[in-house]
Amino acid sequence: MSCSQTGIGLAGFGTVGSGVWKIIERNGGLIGSRSQGDVSLAIRKICVRDLSKKRDVDAPDELFTTDLMEVVNDPSVDIVVELIGGTDAAFDLVAAALRAKKPVVTGNKALLAERGAELFAISAEMETSIHFEAAVAGGIPIIKAVQESLIGNQIEDIVGIINGTSNYILMRMTEAGLGYPEALKEAKDLGYAEADETLDVNGWDAAHKAILLGSLAHGFLIDPTQVYVRGIEKVTPLDISFASDLGYVVKLLSFVRLRDNGAVEIRTQPSFISKTHILASVNGVFNAVAVKGDGLGDSLFYGRGAGQEPTASSAISDLAEAARSMRHADSNRGFLPYRTDGQLVPIDETETSYYVRFSVKDQPGVIAEIASLLAQHEIGISGTHSPVDADNPDAEFVEMVFLLHSCPFGKLKGALTKVEELDCLTARPVVFRIEKI
């Protein structure tokens, strides 16, 4: 069996775009064989910013343009691949492609998280699909797993390490005792962090991915402004050391959790998890996503969360699916929201145990003062930890750690507001959630 070639327009020919070219050149025949001749991909147009830039692939000059809309308007292009990033020009390109009834493949999680409502509305209106496997966790096929393999499951829990840059930085802070600035510089020197690392380290890269997973798992579009996000910029070697002493490691974790009342909890922040948990062993730039379904039970998806060919591999998977959807009306049509009544759990109502570190004056009664205020807010203490500094046993100031029983986050915030008024404190308390996953 054979079929006519499906023309591909690439908007962006950087790391991932050139990876797509390489895989199609190397494995085009394999793709056709595995699809029983149903899919044959050919790149017809490539948009770049600079035509004179040297590249590590030998693509014909006549394929290149600097005009994004040529990728959409070229009659030989059937599917548009958006790999330029950002949310403005990318939105215009994707919207134009959909209105031209050309399916879109994108790795742009920020675009979909921030402006997905508009794009999915156009997708539904034009009956033209958007595919975005490459937007979440690089080469890990988590989108298809949630959307297709687990279609018969109520997905109760998704917990993920889904930003490799932050994961690498935290690993180096843990293993080598580096400070955050030193670990970030190392990540940049190795090419694991971008020149502008902001979205990676402030939590929003991971949060955008969690928002997409939440929409897929629970069927409604999620407003990013309602999602709680904290990054790793303020994580210190001191807290990482305390975590280790207590049997934990610090990871930037993203959560999508279904409550009994149908509301969904979505948040991203650095958290403590037990050293014995499987996610604690996910290091370097690797990603992992733990999924719990009511039928499947627990499952783990693990692999490279970034890089040229892992991410390009996901884009190729979407290209093959999009090509099939053009030939078979009943095949995958991409994601479309299927409910409008979804609700997010307010962050103040989310509950975990907590690690709270207080910088205090070394004077009698400090523990009692703090414990009294916590008790007034009905927050229980499971333990305290205040190691003696052997190099400075007569220090005027000390670090005091309280491990707190599970309570709503809003209740903890209220209690800490009162604690901060105590004269014995020398800095704002440092809080980490202790996750039981």
Q: Which residues are catalytic?
A: 209
Task: Tell me if residue 425 falls in helix, strand or coil.
Answer: strand
Pick from 104, 29, 12: nearest CA to 65: 12
**What residues does 250 pair with on adjacent strands?**
272
Angstrom distance (rounded) from CA 134 to CA 39: 19
With CA atoms as reference, report the closest residue to 80 among 47, 113, 110, 55.
47
CA distance linking residue 195 with residue 191, whole number of Å: 9
Return the structure tokens found at 297: 């039970």
Q: Which helix (H) or strand (E) holds 358?
A: strand 351-361
CB-based burial label for 46 (10 Å; 0-12, 13-18, 19+): buried
Q: Are 102 and 126 in contact (CB under 8 A)?
A: no
* Helix (H) or strand (E) run with residue 253 in it: strand 248-258
Q: What is the full DSSP assignment across 152-204?
A: TS-EEEEEEE--HHHHHHHHHHHHS---HHHHHHHHHHTTSS-SS-HHHHTSH
| DSSP H helices in 289-365 | 308-327
